[in-house]
Structure 1
Amino acid sequence: MKDKVAVVTGGSGVLCSVMAKHLSLQGFKIALIGRTLSKLENVANEIKETGGTVLAIAADVLDKDALLSAHQSIKSELGTCDVLINGAGGNHPDATTSMTEFDSTTNEGKGFFDLDHKAVGGVFDLNFLGTFLPSQIFGKDMIGKEGCSIINLSSMSAYSPMTKVMAYSAAKAAISNFTEWMAVHFASAGIRVNAIAPGFFLTDQNRALLTNSDGSLTDRGNTILSQTPMKRFGKPEELVGTLEWLIDDSSTFITGIVVPVDGGFNAFSGV
């Protein structure tokens, strides 16, 4: 892994920042991409403190021109991309219901018929196009090279959709399907494409949904842990073993898979 280049979108997020810092310790040169430069620079400074080589670039993964510019900067300063981690994604409140199931007896709360179609489209764009565009731009660097990988971020909701987050669940299911499609398409080019499906980790996006201000669990948080055999949330550091395995030369015959890192959530039937 020495001196290879890893590009990480959503690089300032809780999960992807840990991935980036881990890869730096393995010898990767790191390019962090995200919308807020100050947040990226905080992660970059941590990487520099451990002797790593890192470049932080503010770019929206839905802005092709910004990504093309970022690509040129990374190529010039670090070299061409060997590993792409498509970590950018998320949900939007306007694409989320407050009801877990349809109730014809009340007009309170937000149900399926109240969802804003533009917000739903925005969630699809962020998760799917926000993976497609970086793959299209940085994937070209991998043609003719050895040991290159694209790692996508799927979700538990891709296997079985979670209540309330219809758009996010459907978009992550698309990521799993897209991972398989790309794996087949690029197999002859030697580019391996796999995905990690994290279980439930506390992040900036879901913390308020899963925990109360005093740190206790919300009803949703309790439900999740009741369905997780290990009875706890994951720690970001528990993703890096799977990441390292998927991009290492020891897994050169593995492509097109989605690996759950979930404390047993996906394996549990609820009974």
Structure 2
Amino acid sequence: MNVLEKFSLKGKVIIVTGGTGVLGKSFVKALAEAKAKVCIIGRDQKRADERVRLVETFGSEGLAIVGDVMNEQSMIAAREQILAKWGTIDGLVNAAGGNIQGATITPEDDLFATDVQDTIKAIELNLFGTIIPTHVFGKIIAENGKGSIINIGSLSSSQAITRVLGYTVAKNGVVGYTKWMATELALRYGDKVRVNAIAPGVFLTEQNRALLTNTDGTYTSRAQKFINGTPFSRLGDPSELEGTLVYLLSDASSFVSGETVYVDGGFNAWSGV
């Protein structure tokens, strides 16, 4: 197998939870371009169907499933639907998650008067929303003795990012879980079953544009802080995650497991000096 063939995902069945989201769209597109069979799991049937049509424009097969990553039975039902259609599972991308408004603590808030239940919800969504699908779909990957699981970390899983307490705690948990599960799966099922994480930097999307830019197109003060802390001196584009995703799912990364890859323009590496 030459080096280009190692990057191929042709014919592999890859699941993307949160596939109806903004970053999920880039993931789905990249997998379709790499000729994988893509299952999109999300809460919005219309948007999931749109993602299937996107997959099909690249000549690949897609499957839309409405499911809740926080509900084990929902994920088991999705697993059976996937196996009925394609007979196997080769990869999983745990892209479901995000912040919860009530879990954001602004500088004006009393740090100790915020509703801890909102923080708990953010932790549960991002951490258990990764663990539950991994245990359900990862079972098939493990039993097959070969496959790759990708979790989504964050800049906040390495450095303290103000305001997002629940998200920060959860993403630190995701990185720890990635290391733990990578170790356990390899020891139990061999060196062809891998788990890694991608930690995205700050990406400008239509979803967060109002938070990161002012009406005149200039950056908000918070966005500018991220830019100032990034050696590339800019925000990222979701398409810049695609190469890392395909690499970690493919045989090109066959000796990479338990790692978190920061795709952040150097933010995590820089001390600011």
TM-score with structure 2 setting the length: 0.92
Secondary structure of the structure 1 residue equivalent to 2:218: coil
Mapped to 1, the partners of 2:145 and 2:244 lie a distance apart of 20
Q: C-alpha displacement at 1:19, in angstroms?
A: 1.2
Q: C-alpha displacement at 1:111, in angstroms?
A: 2.8
Mapped to 1, the partners of 2:60 and 2:214 lie a distance apart of 37
User: Which one of 43, 53, 75 corresponds to residue 51 of structure 2?
Assistant: 43
CA contact (8 A) 1:71 1:137 kept: yes
Within 5 Å, which residues of 2 pair with 1:1-271?
Answer: 1-99=9-107, 109-188=108-187, 189=189, 190-203=192-205, 206-271=208-273
Mapped to 1, the partners of 2:207 and 2:121 lie a distance apart of 16
Which segments of 5 or more consecutive residues in structure 1 lack a partner in the other structure? 100-108
CA contact (8 A) 1:5 1:79 kept: no
Mapped to 2, the partners of 1:132 and 1:4 lie a distance apart of 22
Q: C-alpha displacement at 1:117, in angstroms?
A: 1.6
Which segments of 5 or more consecutive residues in structure 2 lack a partner in the other structure? 1-8
1:5-57 deviation line (CA, Å, top 9, x unaligned): 00000001121211111111212110000111111112211112222200011
Q: C-alpha displacement at 1:209, in angstroms?
A: 2.5
Runs of 4+ aligned residues of structure 1 deviating over 6 Å after TM superposition are none
Mapped to 1, the partners of 2:238 and 2:59 lie a distance apart of 21
Decide which moves more: 197-206 or 38-47: 197-206
Secondary structure of the structure 1 residue equivalent to 2:144: coil
Q: C-alpha displacement at 1:219, in angstroms?
A: 0.4
TM-score with structure 1 setting the length: 0.93
1:101-126 deviation line (CA, Å, top 9, x unaligned): xxxxxxxx323212212111110110
CA contact (8 A) 1:90 1:205 kept: no
CA contact (8 A) 2:20 2:42 kept: yes
Decide which moves more: 200-209 or 72-81: 200-209
Instruction: Tell me the C-alpha RMSD between the 2 structures.
Output: 1.4
Mapped to 1, the partners of 2:178 and 2:250 lie a distance apart of 18
Q: Which amino acid aligns with 1:95?
A: A
**Identity rate, percent:** 42
Mapped to 2, the partners of 1:143 and 1:182 lie a distance apart of 11
Shift of the 176–205 alpha-carbon distance from structure 1 to 2, 3 Å rule, reads: farther
Q: C-alpha displacement at 1:206, in angstroms?
A: 3.5
Match of 1:106 in 2: none
Q: C-alpha displacement at 1:152, in angstroms?
A: 0.3
Q: Which amino acid aligns with 2:142?
A: I
CA contact (8 A) 1:161 1:170 kept: no
Q: C-alpha displacement at 1:204, in angstroms?
A: 5.4
Q: Which amino acid aligns with 1:139?
A: G
Mapped to 1, the partners of 2:216 and 2:71 lie a distance apart of 39
Secondary structure of the structure 1 residue equivalent to 2:15: strand
CA contact (8 A) 2:205 2:237 kept: no
1:225-267 deviation line (CA, Å, top 9, x unaligned): 0111111111111111111211221221110000000001111
CA contact (8 A) 1:147 1:249 kept: no
Secondary structure of the structure 2 residue equivalent to 1:143: helix
Decide which moves more: 214-223 or 260-269: 214-223
Decide which moves more: 207-216 or 238-247: 207-216
